[in-house]
Amino acid sequence: MIMAESVEAAAAEQTDNNQKKAKVLVVDDSKLVRSTATKILSAKFDLVLAEDGEEAWEKICADDSIQVVFTDLGMPKLDGYGLIQRIRQSENEGIRNQPIIVLTGAAEEDTVRRKVLELGATDFITKPFSSTEIIARAEAHASYHRDKAKLEKSVDVDLLTGALNKAGLEAQLEKDASFVNRHGQTLSLIVFELDDFKTTYERIGKSAAEQLIKQLAATILRTIRKEDSIGRNGVARFTIILPMAKPEGVIMLAKRLCERINGFKMKLGGESLSISMSAGVSTVARGNRVVARDLLRAAEQALANAKKVGPGQVQLLKLDSAPAAKAAPSAISIDGLLEAISQGKLESVENQLEGAVGRLRALVALMSDEQKRRLLG
């Protein structure tokens, strides 16, 4: 009886999944087109409507269950070209990989269609569209998007580059942090990102941009050790996890890879396009406890610092706390130090200053520039 009930429950769950409608977003400033799309699609799909690219972008960011986007090109506020670019350059993997079907007018030239495909559109349909055509496209792309998302989740691998995806990278970082904490070893991260990739993407298009990202991933994979891990956690951003690597060696590796990528040249319309990459490095010395989240944030902050210096730069942030093997230092009271300063006891403050700064360094590294300005002001 219990087995029969389990089978019935599983069958009911499968039926619910099969009956759940795919969510489709239609973006067009024409009330007539939105009305027509509603009549055709609402019976088979969970339909979402938007009048322009800005409204569509807000809905995409707020609703991660949208599986297919149909968009017009000529719209106010944000046109279809801009919407495609935002979707394809999103840091969110689910948004970045959404199928985009462009609704084009019959009179629009082939050059327009080539442009939207270069920007990253998945397909296009000519207006006025038939009910059979738009339903078939919606069903096919929704199914493909759903299957691809399931595959990426199940294997923890970025399908474009073969590196770990964001979820896989985070899981691996937690494992490596646990390992080095047990054995009192070092752990370092390098976060790489192509400089001004938005402009590069707009110039070379989706296909060439993907080839560039694949080339970047392959270059990094050929350089790292077998015990290291690489993950793609942004459009053009990669993170390397380096357990038990010497900090000075990590810095050298980051600089060597940046120099190699900075030597890349791409031909575009007879012109040579220069590519550069910046890197942020974070390290935790041997014997110090590693918190995976803090180490990643420090590497990302180091990358932001590098980009402020200029393209192709490398910056380092160290997260050093009291070594586990040593006795814990006596507690340092910031209020006590300030009180000693007000009383003119500068010698006692100087004796504790290095320890106080060391204890606060990790906290300061996570502060924004605005918070640092307020602190120093």
Per-residue model confidence (pLDDT) at position 1? 34
Residues contacting residue 58 through CB under 8 Å, at least 6 positions apart: none
Read off φ and ψ for residue 96, nearest 5 degrees. Answer: -60, -30
How many beta carbons lie within 10 A of that of residue 290, not counting itself?
24
Token pair recorded at residue 23:
């969510």
Per-residue model confidence (pLDDT) at position 151? 60
Instruction: Please name which of 248, 309, 314 lies closest in space to residue 277, comparing C-alpha atoms.
Output: 314
Cα separation, 32 vs 178, whole angstroms: 58
DSSP string, 263-331: T-EEEETTEEEE--EEEEEEEE-TTSPP-HHHHHHHHHHHHHHHHHH-TT-EEEEE-----TTSPPPPP
Parse the chain into domains and list their residue ranges: 2-154, 166-328, 330-377
| Locus of tokens 């270059």 | 219
Strands 277-284 and 187-194: antiparallel
- Asked if residue 337 lies in contact with residue 331, where contact means CB atoms within 8 angstroms, the answer is no
- Asked if residue 72 lies in contact with residue 116, where contact means CB atoms within 8 angstroms, the answer is no
Residues contacting residue 33 through CB under 8 Å, at least 6 positions apart: 26, 72, 103, 127
Read off φ and ψ for residue 235, nearest 5 degrees. Answer: -60, -50
Cα separation, 80 vs 85, whole angstroms: 9
| Locus of tokens 């390098």 | 190
Give the DSSP H/E element, type plus range, for residue 209.
Answer: helix 197-223
Give the DSSP H/E element, type plus range, for residue 25.
Answer: strand 23-27
Preceding peptide of 128 cis, ω within 30°: yes
DSSP string, 74-100: S-SSS-HHHHHHHHHT-SSHHHHT--E
Token pair recorded at residue 225:
């050790």
Whole-number Cα distances in Å, 97 to 124, 165, 195, 236: 16, 13, 22, 14
Domain 2-154 falls in which CATH fold? Rossmann fold (3.40.50)
Q: What is the DSSP letter of 157?
A: B
The CA-based dihedral angle spanning residues 357, 362, 363, 369, taken in that order and rounded to the nearest 10 degrees? 100
Residues contacting residue 48 through CB under 8 Å, at least 6 positions apart: 23, 24, 25, 26, 59, 63, 66
Give the DSSP H/E element, type plus range, for residue 111.
Answer: helix 110-119
Per-residue model confidence (pLDDT) at position 116? 86
The tens-digit pLDDT sequence of the chain (377 residues) is: 333 333 344 444 444 444 578 899 999 999 999 999 999 999 999 999 999 999 999 999 999 889 899 999 999 999 999 999 999 888 887 888 888 999 887 566 778 878 888 888 888 888 878 888 889 888 888 877 776 666 666 678 888 898 999 889 999 999 999 988 988 889 999 999 999 998 888 888 888 888 889 989 999 988 888 889 999 998 999 999 999 998 889 999 999 999 988 877 776 666 677 889 999 999 998 888 889 999 999 999 999 999 999 999 999 998 864 444 443 444 556 667 667 677 666 655 565 665 666 666 666 666 777 776 776 66
Which architecture does CATH list for 166-328? 2-Layer Sandwich (3.30)
Residues contacting residue 303 through CB under 8 Å, at least 6 positions apart: 191, 192, 193, 278, 279, 280, 315
Q: Tell me if residue 232 falls in helix, strand or coil.
A: strand
Four-residue CA torsion sign, 336, 338, 344, 349: positive
